[in-house]
A and B are shown apart, each in its own frame.
Chain A
Amino acid sequence: MQVEGALGGDIQAIRRDADVISARQSGRQIAERMGYSRPDQALIATAISELARNIVNYAGKGEIEITPVRRRGRMGLRIIARDHGPGIEDLERAMADGFSTGNSFGLGLPGAKRIMDDFDVVTAVGEGVVVTAIKWMGR
């Protein structure tokens, strides 16, 4: 995912379920400051919530990085969810609706993908997961 010039954002450590709330609140505040519409702020907060919960449930700990970015003159907000947990064995299955080893309709990853514009998952078994998602402005 090629992105020019990050503009400074926020990194939230995710260790317990209360951190899921602070991460999504932080994302919403940054999105609001950048001038995202209210529906887009809600979408961004919801995606962060899904990604942060995956960290708590499957890896135990990790971090969420929230960064305003610009590509070809267009502003976006990039969310990186990073952990060093067990990784995802069958990514294709994890990205399919309704597959969950947790308890959330199995919509965590596929749902977050649907509500963001760009979505990319890099994972290796035993090494963790890095999800990079971007919501572009005015789309």
Chain B
Amino acid sequence: MSSRVPILRQGDVLIASIQEELSDGDILDLQLRILEEVIRCRASGVIVDVSALDVLDSFGSRSLSDMAQAVRLRGSRLVIVGIQPDVAYSMVLLGVTLPDVATALDLDRGLALLEAG
């Protein structure tokens, strides 16, 4: 499967910036690649930027949550940034609130959150 989400490295933080709607297969692919990259780069944190997504349904949310827990088990931290207001509203009505996942408004705030430790 082609990798549709570029994962960039900035210092010891990885930034995965989702650019387009992802199929379930793409999301699972991203999940694996993020964990591999965290291990390979010994990254202290990961930011997943979802600002380009206009839907985050139960599968997408579940996958992000799994990603965050797996990254945490590796001793690193994952922050989701850029959840759009309409998407946030839909997630809450759907019943998905991701209580165990760190979130931030945007990339800058996400980086600040990771730096603050």
Residue B11, interface by CB 8 Å: no
**Across the interface, which residues of A come within 8 angstroms of B24, CB to CB?**
17, 20, 53, 56
Closest A residue to B20 using CB positions:
A21
How many residues does chain B have at the interface if contact means C-beta atoms less than 8 Å apart?
24
0/1 per residue, A40-59, Cβ < 8 Å to B? 01110110011001001000
CA distance A56 to B22 in the complex (A): 15
Taking A21-B22, A105-B95, A108-B58 as given, write out 6 further A-B residue pairs in contact, using a Cβ cutoff of 8 Å, ordered by the A residue number: A42-B90, A45-B55, A46-B90, A49-B55, A115-B90, A115-B93
User: Which A residues fall within an 8 A CB radius of B?
Assistant: 17-18, 20-21, 24-25, 28, 38-39, 41-43, 45-46, 49-50, 53, 56, 97, 103-105, 107-108, 110-112, 114-115
User: Which B residues fall within an 8 A CB radius of A?
Assistant: 21-25, 54-59, 61-62, 84-87, 89-91, 93-96
